[in-house]
Structure 1
Amino acid sequence: MAERQLPPAFHQGIDNYLLPLAVWLADQREDGRTLVVGLCGGQGSGKSTLTAFLNLVWTHMGIRSAGFSLDDIYLTRADRLQLAQRVHPLLATRGVPGTHDVALGIETIERLCHSAGADNTRIPRFDKSTDDRVPVNSWSSHHGPVDILLFEGWCVGATPWQEGEEPINRLERCEDADGRWRDYINRQLQGPYRQLFARLDILVMLKVPDMDCVVAWRTQQEHQLRASKGGGMSDAEIERFVQHYERITRNLLKEMPGRADCVLELARDHSIAGLQLNSP
């Protein structure tokens, strides 16, 4: 809590929700098999904090855990620029389905799930400050077997949307009027990303209240970044940036709570308001 500057009230969330969640996930394991847990949550929802907490608890329980983020497998900047020229200019911006190296994600999950005692498994990393993938020789690595693998990201487990092809925000109206960008994203969710998300055994959702909170929390993050490092996006740039993710986020909020194995309901003040288990 001190390291991440969390408020004292965070203790209540630990006692009532997070510690029981860590123990429940540990109980879902099967002997001799890695449990792959997907964690989905909108921007600013607290995915990295939850990931760090779960890993800390599992370490104290003697459980070997590892993980990486959907953000770690972005296509290289050069590959995204080529994609932008070939398909649509908006694909130069990292984030949406179609801007990740899905094959690398599947390979990393498979290697970690089958890691043995003497194995060192490389885990990809992406540097957002340079907007490019970190060189392979600078990737982190995990030594030995993995009992629980945590794979987190803003759209982990997302499914294609079934309707609503009309633009829903200014970005879509002005920069994707013919829907080519949206169509490409949806086809990626129907194909490659479906294969990636099929590797998940358990799906946990950090459910944000609505899109307004996503914008507000992302704006708060950028304000903190500007205060600490002197740089970051303006509020107008944040609003446009979040519009890249709005369509999928709205679809996730509508359909994922009914199928995720565990849903953590977030309140507007970032506290946890409730927990729902959909698994037997």
Structure 2
Amino acid sequence: MVSPSAADLIERAIHARLSVWGRHPLVLGVCGSQGSGKSTVCKTLTTRLTQSGLKVANLSLDDLYLPLAQRVTLAKHVHPLLKTRGVPGTHDIKLGVHTLHALAHGGRVPLPRFDKAVDDRRPQEEWDSIEGPAQVVLFEGWCVGARPQTLDALDRPVNALEANEDLDGRWRRYVNDALGGEYQRLFGKIDFLVLLAAPSFDVVLKWRTQQEHELRAQTAGDTSGVMSDAALVRFIQHYERLTRHILIDMPGRADLVIRLGPDRSVVS
């Protein structure tokens, strides 16, 4: 007997919840570390649910990144590490809240899209769109549904990036404050939270390195947007603190926890 995939398990959970759901849309939050396969799972779910007759919107936290110019301003006035997209404080939360609100009503709803190749938001005329209201919204991201850490947890650096480039802890406090503030308003719109739990943070680095190697192999000629292994190690350190926190904090409160093995297969 073939074990169910993450998509199988989430699909069952969605249909079970919809059977007793009295309003639309059902906003499903899918949290998973970098490389966990959450984007692929959500694409699979979008296809399956659409084929079953449901109107589905797919939104990624990555598509809510602030434009590069705004992150450059943050880097200048708050902390240099905020130029790097990814952590709380580098997303357009008002845009996310507005989009989720619009998906509950009729009319054409534009879905934000971000171009990682140029590290900037795509022009709105290049965004996808859906005719609302949606019945299911798949909202995925590496820290979707996360809660802030306690202040004393921020005192000690978790890696070389924090130790060497955030000496006074200003960056991680800004990130934590953002997560505890406006991000909770966005995450509060989630009706059902799923965690794709990696076995450890060490595995996350392996997964992300594998992704980058695959991207390099697929890129013909220009590989300027592909990170070296050394650059990737530093990049991942931006996410380490909160990823470790999520793996400890979220399993006790998520509606569905899917534990993954090192090969991304479902363990439990």
Q: TM-score by structure 2 length?
A: 0.94
Deviations 1:52-106 (Å, cap 9, x if unpaired)? 1211221222111112100001000000000111100000000000000000000
1:188 to 2:178 alignment: yes
Contact 1:13 1:271 in 2 (8 A): no
Matched letter for residue 31 of structure 1: G
Matched letter for residue 125 of structure 1: R
Q: Secondary structure at the match of 2:232?
A: helix
Contact 1:160 1:189 in 2 (8 A): yes
Q: Secondary structure at the match of 1:44?
A: coil
Match 2:145 to one of 125, 140, 157: 157
Deviations 1:198-257 (Å, cap 9, x if unpaired)? 010110000001111110000001111111115211111111000000000000000101
Looking at structure 1, the residues matched to 132 and 210 of structure 2 have their Cα atoms a distance apart, in angstroms, of 38
Match 2:48 to one of 57, 64, 76: 57
Looking at structure 1, the residues matched to 212 and 9 of structure 2 have their Cα atoms a distance apart, in angstroms, of 32
Looking at structure 2, the residues matched to 67 and 95 of structure 1 have their Cα atoms a distance apart, in angstroms, of 19
Looking at structure 1, the residues matched to 7 and 116 of structure 2 have their Cα atoms a distance apart, in angstroms, of 29
Contact 1:257 1:263 in 2 (8 A): yes
Q: Secondary structure at the match of 1:272?
A: coil
Looking at structure 2, the residues matched to 252 and 259 of structure 1 have their Cα atoms a distance apart, in angstroms, of 11
Contact 1:102 1:196 in 2 (8 A): yes
Looking at structure 1, the residues matched to 37 and 156 of structure 2 have their Cα atoms a distance apart, in angstroms, of 31
Looking at structure 2, the residues matched to 201 and 218 of structure 1 have their Cα atoms a distance apart, in angstroms, of 29
Unaligned runs of 5+ in 1: 1-8, 275-280
Matches within 5 A, 1:135-154: 135-154=123-142
1:68 to 2:59 alignment: yes
Match 1:166 to one of 147, 156, 181: 156
Match 1:19 to one of 5, 8, 31: 8
| CA gap 1:257/1:156 in 2 versus in 1, 3 angstroms | same
Match of 1:35 in 2: 26
Q: Report the RMSD for the aligned CA atoms in angstroms.
A: 1.4
Match of 2:187 in 1: 197
Contact 1:19 1:57 in 2 (8 A): no
Match 1:121 to one of 92, 104, 109: 109
Larger RCO (alpha carbons 8 Å, 6+ apart): 2
Q: Secondary structure at the match of 1:13?
A: coil
Looking at structure 1, the residues matched to 35 and 22 of structure 2 have their Cα atoms a distance apart, in angstroms, of 35
Contact 2:7 2:42 in 1 (8 A): no
> 1:143, CA displacement in angstroms?
1.5
Deviations 1:113-168 (Å, cap 9, x if unpaired)? 22x2xx11101100000100001111110023211111100000010011322111
Matched letter for residue 103 of structure 1: K
1:268 to 2:262 alignment: yes
Q: TM-score by structure 1 length?
A: 0.90
